[in-house]
Amino acid sequence: MTARFLALYETPADIEAFERHYREVHIPLGRRLPGLRRYTVSRDVRAVRGDAPYYLVAELDWDTMDDLRAAFASPEGRATAADAARLQELAPMRSMIFTVRDTAPETPPGE
């Protein structure tokens, strides 16, 4: 099972300032989160319903929900959360946490 944190950012008023801060400050903070397995950023993502696209979607993965909680409770997690508040000033953000069931392909009978 994987625990995933999603951060969905709407289009910033000042794209250049947002991009600079996200790239130079926020990503380096996030990469230091304990136990982080994967950090993916996607841009110009369209919602299945509704017209408003998200400007940026960040996906951060941990092995377990306990690992995710511990990461955000750490000094690195508190620093990342504090910086997320700064990013909220540049672009509205929604976030969610969920688990993803890792499924291995079934082995065909007889193998």
Mean pLDDT by 10 residues, the chain (111 residues): 91 95 96 96 76 85 95 97 93 84 55 52
Does residue 30 form part of some domain?
yes
E strands in the chain: 2-9, 38-45, 54-62, 93-100
C-alpha atoms less than 13 angstroms from C-alpha of 56 in its C-beta half-sphere: 20
Q: 89 lies in a domain?
A: yes
The distance in angstroms from the start CA to the end CA of the chain is 25
- Parent domain of 92: 2-100
Q: What is the pLDDT of residue 104?
A: 53
Asked if residue 26 belongs to a domain, the reply is yes
Using a 10 angstrom Cβ sphere, with 0-12 exposed, 13-18 middle and 19 or more buried, the burial of residue 23 is: exposed
Give domain status of residue 105, yes or no: no
Domain count, the chain: 1
